[in-house]
Amino acid sequence: MMGHGRLKHILFFFLPLVLGACSTFNPVNGDFKLKGKTLAVIAGLDNDANMLTAQYMTESLKKNTRFQVLSQKQIGQAIPGYPDNIQGPYRSAYFEIEVDYSKTDMKRIRSIQQKLGVDYLYVLWTPSATVYGEKIHSLNVISQMFESGKEVANGRFSATAGRSTCCLSPTPKDEDKVNAVKDTADYVSKEIGQKTGMAK
């Protein structure tokens, strides 16, 4: 049985939702080349989980890449009513996200990018979460990156809390879930840095 000392060593692991060659960051075209360095991370839904994900992704991209990343405060000052609900690239998101990139509200995306004046807009949606029993909680995320109002990359990933190094694991606390989002943001931001040539 797991002792109290082991409770502090829960692993918050990255669990990609992959199909075939998909990963957390997939350029739409293989010859994708950066045309600028400014970037903003946008929460696509007006809920706490989405805002938390956007906040930590913003911090991770600042830390792990050479992008000039706007803060969430700067975004809120430039866009009245932020965050708001933006139709994302999915049909439904009950247990799993049913992807449909034609569903994204491109008019809103172009308007937001124009108001922010950034080269790249990285939008995150967290439309669903999965609970396995009472022990493993997984926040499902789908993303798109836009350049001049045109999609240049997309991805899917999950932030999962509650898995331990042995077979027994406690019910994840709010702190565990926050740490899971932080760790996942670091993982994804590093991949973005590598695939765009902007890694520190």
Whether 15 maps to a domain, the answer reads: no
Note down the domain range covering 101: 20-196
Q: Is the pLDDT of residue 3 over 50?
A: no
pLDDT of residue 167: 35
State phi, psi for 144 to the nearest 5 degrees.
-145, 145
pLDDT of residue 12: 33
Distance CA 35, CA 30 (A): 15
User: Per-residue pLDDT averaged across 70-79, rounded?
Assistant: 97
Side-chain-side CA neighbours of residue 57 (13 Å)? 28
The string of pLDDT tens digits covering residues 108-135 is 999 999 999 999 999 999 887 665 555 5
Least-confidence region, from 31-40, 82-91, 141-150: 31-40
Whether 100 maps to a domain, the answer reads: yes
Q: Could you give the number of structural domains in the chain?
A: 1
Whether 49 maps to a domain, the answer reads: yes
Task: State the CATH number of the domain containing residue 29.
Answer: 3.40.50.10610
Q: Give pTM, 2 decimals.
A: 0.82
Percent of the chain with pLDDT over 70: 76
Please report, in angstroms and rounded to a whole number, the separation of the first and last CA atoms in the chain. Answer: 42
- Write the CA distances from 131 to 75, 105, 144, integer angstroms: 32, 29, 25
Q: Is the pLDDT of residue 165 over 70?
A: no
DSSP state string for 122-161: EEEEEEEEEEETTTEEEEEEEEEEEETTEEEEEEEEEEEE
